[in-house]
A and B are shown apart, each in its own frame.
Chain A
Amino acid sequence: MKTRDDDLEALSALMDGETQELELRRLLGSIDTDPALRERWRRQQMISDIMSKRPLTHPDMDVSGRVSDALSAKSSVSRNPIWSVAVAASVTLAVVMGGQQLLLPTGTPSAPFAVSEVGGAVVPIGGAQPVQASLDAQPLQISSQRSVLDNRRSAEAAATYERLATDRYRKLSVRHSAESASAHPSPFIPQARVAEFIDEASSEE
């Protein structure tokens, strides 16, 4: 049976590169549970430096704790599956919210709707305010006929955009569920059920 003296002897042998892989693996496990072994290793290195006449410029300095904390924090962030789910959820939210933002002008007809005329084509710029080119110029007026046309096009674009956003959200949700289930410690936990969305386009048909 392995005793603490065995660990200490293995630690001494590790100083000299005289441990086998299996012994090193056991030793590293022991150090995890016995901080005194770690301190022993530090003192042994200091003694070795002294015996080798290396300068002890900062014998009281120990950055190992700070280094270890920094690396542990980095490691836990990069390996935590919750982060990948959170990032994916953020992307989904951005897609949905972005789509809704683009649709806002059609819901607020009283607000002035900025247009840009390029080669006779009218391009609505959602959410933007008209900008006057000069002090004397009047704001660009939109005819009522053109406004109706714009509103219809805007509504079609909105419907298309919403369909795309919903499709994308569904795909991401299914992927999240699958990855969450596979990353979970218990393989028997069923996949999280994806929230149901009413597909307005299909329900109307």
Chain B
Amino acid sequence: MTGSDTDQQLVQRAQRGELRAFDLLVLKYQGRIAALVSRYISDPGEVEDVTQEAFIKAYKALPKFRGDSAFYTWLYRIAANAAKNYLVARGRRPTGEASVEDIESFEHSGLVSEVSTPEAVVMGEELAAVVESALEELPDELRAALTLREFEGLSYDDIAEVLGCPVGTVRSRIFRAREAIDSRVREQLEGSLGIR
């Protein structure tokens, strides 16, 4: 199973009208969608509005989503169109075109400083440093399980085979690894934003 299986599970429930399932999808993808919208629109307030609008449009269009493409690819197209329409409605020309391939390459291109505020860049760098530090401090068995999952994309079954332990143990180790990292990130967020 993969993250797209997660999407499929949540999408199916959202299609049946479970708003909580869609809420989890929003929480999962809002950062990436905001990054995409930022390629068209620079004002942070407008980025927030268009990102919100994109998710509302996506929810309304969910009954038409057949799963022919990945959910995030479908969502990205809706967000890109929402951003372009937003600019056209205000008599502004879209400054860029972003295909799905462009978006995926953008995600790993390190162009974040071009579309973020200086504060956001600093905050992102601080969070990245916290995550890296917390990962290094993890016990070996926890770090190995989480690394195989996050970096290699292995399923729990595959990780269990690699590490030679039951699947339940893999699940528990990954959970505890995330728990340890989360506590550090939460402290950082509470310190910088007052977020709990």
Contacts and interface: CB of A to CB of B under 8 A. Distances in A.
Interface in B96-144: 106-108, 110-112, 115-116, 119-120, 123-124, 127-128, 131, 135
Interface string A47-63: 11111111111111111
Chain A contact residues (Cβ within 8 angstroms of B): what range?
35 or more
B175 A57 contact: no
Contacts of A66: 52
A158 B3 CA distance: 69
B182 interface: yes
B149 interface: yes
Given A12-B175, A41-B24, A47-B181, A54 B31 contact: yes
User: Chain B interface secondary structure, helix, strand, loop or mixed?
Assistant: helix
A94 B3 CA distance: 54
Contacts of B149: 16
Contacts of A49: 31-32
B172 A9 contact: yes
Interface residues of B, number: 69
Interface string A106-134: 00000000000000000000000000000
Nearest to A79: B17
A40 interface: yes
Contacts, number: 181
B51 A28 contact: no
Contact of A67 (B31, B55, B186): B55
B93 interface: no
B174 A12 contact: yes
Contacts of B106: 55
B178 A44 contact: yes
A24 B27 contact: no
A55 B110 contact: yes
A57 B119 CA distance: 10
Interface of A: 8-9, 12-19, 21, 24, 28, 31-32, 38-64, 66-68, 70-72, 75
A2 to B, nearest CB: 15
A16 B31 contact: no
B150 A59 contact: no
Given A43-B189, A58-B120, A16 B6 contact: yes
B187 to A, nearest CB: 11
A156 B21 CA distance: 61
B18 interface: yes
Given A13-B175, A68-B26, A54 B32 contact: yes
B34 interface: yes
A57 B36 CA distance: 9
